[in-house]
């Protein structure tokens, strides 16, 4: 039996592409089952008001442990 958790989240890093993240998942023995995206906001001061603007999109994959053939 493996010591790895059955589920694990993988965030697409700033320096990598989506396919790089999926390759990293595969190397660790996980397969993607869900993709989640959420905006990352920054606060920008315009005059006396503070406005929240979208800075980037955060992409997270949820992976489950691959079944090994016996």
Q: What is the pLDDT of residues 20-44, one digit of tens each?
A: 999 999 999 999 999 999 999 999 9
Q: Is 63 exposed, middle or buried (0-12, 13-18, 19+ CB in 10 A)?
A: buried
CA distance 70 to 62: 25
Q: Quick check: 52 pLDDT over 70?
A: yes
Whether 32 and 61 have beta carbons less than 8 Å apart is answered as: yes
Write down the pLDDT at residue 67. Answer: 83
Among 63, 58, 9, smallest CA distance to 37 is for 58
Place of tokens 């606060």: 43
- pTM summary value: 0.78
Mean pLDDT of 37-62: 93
């Amino acid at each position: 039996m493996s010591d790895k958790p059955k589920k694990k989240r993988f965030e697409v890093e700033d320096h990598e592409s989506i396919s790089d993240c999926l390759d990293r998942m595969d190397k660790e023995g996980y397969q993607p089952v869900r993709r989640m995206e959420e905006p990352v906001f920054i606060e920008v001061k315009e005059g006396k008001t503070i406005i929240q603007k979208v800075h980037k999109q955060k992409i997270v994959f949820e992976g489950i442990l691959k079944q090994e053939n016996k």
